A = this chain, B = another copy of it.
């Protein structure tokens, strides 16, 4: 007879625990599935899943095949609840206020689309210039698909480096300007750590500011959990979404969606669930198609939203166990933020004059822009002088450099344009050491020198 799921997972657990943690850096690489030649400098985009977590993930996949109905109707539910419970402890919220979705974009979509049916004429959505691409498109789609309400997007301009105080001031200015124009900002979408550039945002203070203006706070914390400490009870956001496959070592795609109890009636599962209760119909009679012992309709509607392989959701406890084996959240964050700061110094020094790290003079880690991602400017320029043309030309140049770096070397680094410059975003992560950033700095320096020579040659 085949061993039980619990026994099979226990074997993986024992195997992991039988090995002493070898310390952060290259000694950890064998614990991941990377190709030997690959230098993974861009954890920020897709994360990476430890072998231990992947092994447990595959046990769930196999278990569902063993008796599909038994697993997908009965067994998955307590496993899902256990995953949610462990996440709730990490972000300091009640387990009933946290559900799982495929990724942060899906969570942001559920929240913004959930407001359909409640918009009023003249309502607006507050966003930042640095909003994640797909989320900015989502806000625009909400505007486009509600034409009768003439919704607006209010955009806060952000040109980094900026102190947290400056971000707060610019937000306040945008809100007060909208209020002066009688624009009713209904909800604001802020990052906890933005993607491009990869900088920490004072999201707790923004939540407070929003609240004082009666604006719902939607925190796109795609990069937060596992990279910085977050506390729902202290910050009290209205909605908070974090990927768990980026920085928390789970198998992609899984994200947590926290919704404050006061807003749970606003956030409907996508796709619409069997358990959706219409406010316009009497409650259904008879037993549900898929039985649930969910503590609320909010949780019930998110427990099942159409057939998927839920193994990624269920991989959360294995991810957290792997992280405890590495020393726990505080140790991981300390290693990564130190390494990110080192990486910034290494790369900007190698690239020489004209290259800067995107950072502010800050007394404490809490005031810094750099957590586990660091942004460094590339000392190249384009000929155009018109702002729009410069932006396009810089973007094309950045894309060319990125393509060359990525196709000529076994790595990936994101090049992007911000504040009239090309920057790169680098991710520190537990398997990396300073030498990895020295390696990539050399490669980028080579491309920059080549570009500078070509540019001179064509003058």
Q: Which parts of A431-446 form the interface with B (CB within 8 Å)?
A: none
CA distance A128 to B47 in the complex (A): 44
Q: How far is the CB of A125 from chain B (nearest CB, A)?
A: 13
Chain B contacts of A280 at CB under 8 A?
Answer: 140, 143-144
Chain B contacts of A273 at CB under 8 A?
Answer: 134, 137
Closest to A116 in B: B145
Query: Is the CB–CB distance between B103 and A307 below 8 Å?
Result: yes
CB-CB contacts of A140-154 with B at 8 A, as 1s and 0s?
110111111000000
Q: How far is the CB of A397 from chain B (nearest CB, A)?
A: 10
Query: Is the CB–CB distance between A38 and B61 below 8 Å?
Result: no
Q: How far is the CB of A88 from chain B (nearest CB, A)?
A: 23
Q: Which parts of A407-423 form the interface with B (CB within 8 Å)?
A: 410-412, 417
Stretch of A19-27, A67-75, A172-180, A337-345 on the interface side: A67-75
Chain B contacts of A336 at CB under 8 A?
Answer: none
Closest to A411 in B: B69
Query: Is the CB–CB distance between A68 and B45 below 8 Å?
Result: yes
Chain B contacts of A42 at CB under 8 A?
Answer: 68-69
Chain B contacts of A34 at CB under 8 A?
Answer: 65-67
CA distance A312 to B412 in the complex (A): 25
Query: Is the CB–CB distance between A286 and B396 below 8 Å?
Result: yes
A52 at the interface (CB under 8 A from B): no
Q: A253-B308, A270-B270, A307-B252 are in contact. Are A54 and B65 (CB under 8 A)?
A: yes
Which of B46, B65, B67 meets A307, CB within 8 Å?
A: B46
Q: A271-B109, A392-B286 are in contact. Are A61 and B65 (CB under 8 A)?
A: no
Q: How far is the CB of A204 from chain B (nearest CB, A)?
A: 25
User: How many A residues have CB within 8 A of the partner chain?
Assistant: 88
Closest to A312 in B: B309
CA distance A303 to B443 in the complex (A): 31
Q: How far is the CB of A147 from chain B (nearest CB, A)?
A: 6
Chain B contacts of A38 at CB under 8 A?
Answer: 66-67, 70
A395 at the interface (CB under 8 A from B): yes
Chain B contacts of A108 at CB under 8 A?
Answer: 271
Q: A140-B281, A273-B137 are in contact. Are A46 and B61 (CB under 8 A)?
A: no
Query: Is the CB–CB distance between B410 and A32 below 8 Å?
Result: no
* Chain B CB within 10 A, most for which of A35, A40, A106, A307: A307
Query: Is the CB–CB distance between A276 and B140 below 8 Å?
Result: yes
Chain B contacts of A159 at CB under 8 A?
Answer: none
Query: Is the CB–CB distance between B105 and A306 below 8 Å?
Result: yes
Query: Is the CB–CB distance between A148 and B148 below 8 Å?
Result: yes
A272 at the interface (CB under 8 A from B): yes
Q: A243-B307, A285-B391 are in contact. Are A117 and B105 (CB under 8 A)?
A: no
Which of B33, B45, B113, B410 meets A113, CB within 8 Å?
A: B113
Closest to A61 in B: B54
A129 at the interface (CB under 8 A from B): no
Interface CB pairs A-B, < 8 A, 16: A1-B36, A33-B62, A45-B307, A48-B65, A69-B411, A102-B102, A103-B271, A105-B271, A116-B145, A134-B273, A137-B274, A140-B280, A141-B276, A144-B278, A287-B396, A287-B399
Residues of A within 8 A of B (CB): 1-2, 32-36, 38, 40, 42, 45-49, 54, 57-58, 61-62, 64-70, 72-73, 102-106, 108-109, 113, 116-117, 133-134, 137-138, 140-141, 143-148, 243, 245, 251-253, 268, 270-274, 276, 278-281, 285-287, 289, 305-309, 312, 388, 391-392, 395-396, 399, 406, 410-412, 417
Q: A40-B67, A58-B58, A253-B308 are in contact. List 12 more A-B contacts (CB 8 A).
A: A38-B66, A45-B69, A70-B412, A102-B102, A102-B306, A103-B306, A103-B308, A108-B271, A117-B147, A253-B307, A286-B395, A287-B399
